[in-house]
Amino acid sequence: MAKLIYVAIIALTVASKCLALQCTTPTIIRGAWFSWENKNTLTEIDATTMTNRGTCVDIKDDYHVNYTMVFHREQENCFICVKILVRTVNILEKMESPCISLPDPNVATVDRVCQALDPHQQLITLFSENYVPVNCRSSLEGVWNFAYQNRFKFTGECRHPDAQIRSCQTAGSQFLITNQKFNITYKKCEGMLGTFDGVVEYSCLGDWFVGKNHYFAVANTKESRKDEKYRCFLKNRDDDLFIGVSITAECNTLKTVEKSPERLHIRPVKSEIVEPGCRLPQNFSGEWINTANIDADVFINETHIIETHYPDEGRYRRTIYVCKEQKDTRVLMARLTVDGCQKDYVCFDFVPQHHNLIRYRKGVAVIKDDFSTVCSWVQFQNKVKWRYDLFLKKNPVPIKCPVAGKFNFTQKGDVPFETRILGGVTLSPRPNVYCKENISDFSVCDEEQKEIAIDQNYCLSVDHRGKPLDIYSDPDYKMKCIGFWKENLKSYLITFDELDPFSKYRCWVYQRADLNRVLMSQAIGPFCDLKQTVNSYNYTEGATVAVEMEEYERERDQCPMYFDDGSNPHLNPESHIIQFDFGYFKSSSSSTTTTTTTRYQMHYHLKVLFTCLLIELTRICI
């Protein structure tokens, strides 16, 4: 009997070794790993074995980052399923099943043994004993002032003006390790026990994402105790002004930023102060919208441009430009970046401001402070087709529309104009009016011709006196004209509609097709795509609707047609005084013949003027 048992044990051992020959652990998970599993735990993984788990007998590879393995523990003759998630070259996370016994070792496969694996158990974080620091830029980049809170030491939040997180790259450094570390400077708050003064230096071990949660692991470079050396941090894409920190060498305590053991409330700051060296035009000052950067808020004064864009609800990114040098239309500006670590230099090419907009081009960012380099024309990305970007007034003042009059239009597009009631339900029912003819109406008929009124279903019928029958209906859309210009042989118009749910600002391409016909195309947002023409009507060319309009002004409308193609947007269309010089103010450098001719012309016009005056006086006297 004893011999049979001995033979069986030998058979199992041989079978286990035969299975082990088929299972080799990946190189990336081999090595010595530290973890906190209610005590300091050291795990070593080689080609076929894992500490306290036994010999590998089966493995399943998912995308080379998730490995599910079955280990055979010979002393107890049972099998363990271990699932390892590769987070970075320095970080692993694992979960495992209890050790189960099987009558036949040949069925010890991943599918059979790992049925006992609980997928909802907490992950154990393994930190590499011989870690290789990685660049910190993907984990944490910037300079912040912060307030900190530790739920296990004190209540409330400790904010100090000198508390700072600094994680900056040193451009061109030959010592890579300087870009693989960051510092946290803690400051003590008076009257709060548990707060302290100290500087902690961390080496970055890598980062990873789980949904919207952004984790990154670090190692304290000045700490020798292993359980105090390793830490995990947590950021969230929806609210990256808070950072969660673990107080033990494990990441499973970080579920959300708000419920983290230690929480940092960060506020970005700029690390450098740049003195301005020039002034921007005075009419640039004010609040603007940058259509080239997610409708970012822009504040401009004489020396600075402060741009704040909002990538998501509750998040913002702020960039500061400081005027350094100016020549012709180009302005060299120092840029204090979003992260606040360093400054670089960017050149702006501005078109003189007109109406409620500023047109500009922005060059490539350069680290060198030299006008001839930064503002060289080659720094602007001159593609085959390009256009100026726009700053639009945040609180625009309406101007006279370049297209005015009363038009009947037909439309085509993805988002056509529809019948609606501005302001919601009316106070009282409107009387029914019988209309013989209904049209789509596009009118710019206010006293100063500054507002576009669009009525998709307009009653054209009039009474016996020629007055409109429907005097109660309001237009479906009201848009104010705030700017227009001509570029790339196309005429552009910007309108402003406070009730537009998608974008208050809309760009139009317009063109006069005939004596009384105008073609227009409305863009999706506040800027027009290079491909958009007056015939564009769908998203492929950045448009929503195209309209073809024909003037139909009636006698009582008193709505004269007006058209300006925007060739000279700096001309004031509201100036009704035209000065004729009749050749009197010619240049004094003209030739003698020209001067003599001008003198004769002047005498002739004076004679005509006196003759007209005498005739008028004679008529009055009679």
For residue 413, give both structure tokens: 């597009």
pLDDT per position as a tens digit, 427-469? 767 777 788 888 999 999 998 999 999 999 998 888 887 777 7
pLDDT per position as a tens digit, 229-276? 999 999 988 888 899 999 999 999 999 998 999 999 999 888 788 999
Tell me which CATH code domain 2-128 carries: 2.40.128
Report which of residues 581 and 467 the model is more confident about.
Answer: 467
Residue 595 has pLDDT above 70, yes or no: no
CA 255 from centre of chain? 27
Question: What is the mean predicted confidence (pLDDT) over 401-410?
Answer: 95
Task: Identify the band that residue 610 occupies on the pLDDT scale cut at 50, 70 and 90.
Answer: low
Question: What is the mean predicted confidence (pLDDT) over 15-24?
Answer: 56
Closest CA to 149 of 231, 244, 21: 244
Task: Identify the band that residue 589 occupies on the pLDDT scale cut at 50, 70 and 90.
Answer: very low
- H/E stretch holding 616 reads helix 592-621
List the end-to-end C-alpha distance of the chain, in Å, as a whole number. Answer: 155
Residue 611 has pLDDT above 80, yes or no: no
Q: Which residue has the tokens 């209904």?
A: 438
pLDDT per position as a tens digit, 507-516? 999 999 999 9
Closest CA to 301 of 272, 330, 331, 322: 322
Instruction: Determine the Cα angle at 482 with ends 476 and 486, to 5°.
Output: 110
Residue 1 has pLDDT above 60, yes or no: no
- The answer to whether the predicted template modeling score (pTM) of the entire model surpasses 0.85 is no
Cα(89)–Cα(556) distance, integer angstroms: 80
- CA R_g for the chain: 38
pLDDT per position as a tens digit, 145-172? 999 999 888 888 999 999 999 998 776 6
Per CATH, 2-128 and 403-421+435-563 having the same topology is answered yes
Report which of residues 485 and 603 the model is more confident about.
Answer: 485
| Cβ 359 vs Cβ 485: under 8 Å | yes
Task: Identify the band that residue 491 occupies on the pLDDT scale cut at 50, 70 and 90.
Answer: very high
Residue 591 has pLDDT above 70, yes or no: no
Q: Which residue has the tokens 């027009």?
A: 528
Does domain 403-421+435-563 fall under CATH 2.40.128? My reply is yes
pLDDT attached to residue 295: 86
pLDDT attached to residue 14: 41
Q: Where are the domains of the chain?
A: 2-128, 142-268, 282-393, 403-421+435-563, 579-622
CA-CA-CA-CA torsion sign (279, 282, 283, 287)? positive
Cα(178)–Cα(180) distance, integer angstroms: 5
**Residue 187, CB-side half-sphere exposure with 13 Å CA sphere:** 13
Question: What is the mean predicted confidence (pLDDT) over 195-212?
Answer: 93
Closest CA to 323 of 355, 282, 269, 287: 282
Question: Mean of the per-residue pLDDT values for the chain?
Answer: 86
pLDDT attached to residue 592: 41
Task: Identify the band that residue 596 occupies on the pLDDT scale cut at 50, 70 and 90.
Answer: very low
Task: Identify the band that residue 88 occupies on the pLDDT scale cut at 50, 70 and 90.
Answer: very high
Task: Identify the band that residue 304 occupies on the pLDDT scale cut at 50, 70 and 90.
Answer: very high
Question: What is the mean predicted confidence (pLDDT) over 540-549?
Answer: 96
Query: Could you tell me what percentage of the chain is helix, strand and coil, using 3-state DSSP and rounding each to the nearest 5?
Result: 15, 40, 45
Share of the chain above pLDDT 70, in %: 87
Cα(473)–Cα(203) distance, integer angstroms: 69
Mention every residue, 6+ apart, whose C-beta is less than 8 A from residue 455: 440, 441, 443, 473, 475, 476
| Cβ 602 vs Cβ 584: under 8 Å | yes
DSSP labels for 333-367? EEEE-SS-S-EEEEEEEEPPPBTTEEEEEE---BS
Residue 31 has pLDDT above 70, yes or no: yes
Task: Identify the band that residue 528 occupies on the pLDDT scale cut at 50, 70 and 90.
Answer: very high
Cα(504)–Cα(494) distance, integer angstroms: 10
Cα(622)–Cα(111) distance, integer angstroms: 121
pLDDT attached to residue 616: 61
Q: Which residue has the tokens 């726009």?
A: 390
Question: What is the mean predicted confidence (pLDDT) over 391-420?
Answer: 94
124, 476, 480, 483, 495 from 397: Cα distances, Å: 61, 22, 9, 9, 11
pLDDT per position as a tens digit, 281-295? 999 999 999 999 888
Cβ atoms within 10 Å, residue 21 = 9
pLDDT attached to residue 408: 95
Tell me which DSSP letter residue 285 carries: -
Helix (H, G, I), strand (E, B) or coil at 188: coil
pLDDT attached to residue 178: 74
For residue 575, give both structure tokens: 């100036």
Residue 594 has pLDDT above 60, yes or no: no
Cα(618)–Cα(612) distance, integer angstroms: 10
Question: What is the mean predicted confidence (pLDDT) over 477-488?
Answer: 95
| Cβ 300 vs Cβ 285: under 8 Å | yes
pLDDT attached to residue 272: 81
Q: Checking DSSP bridges between strand 343-350 and strand 242-245, what pairing results, if any?
A: unpaired
Q: Which residue has the tokens 């998608």?
A: 502
Tell me which DSSP letter residue 468 carries: B
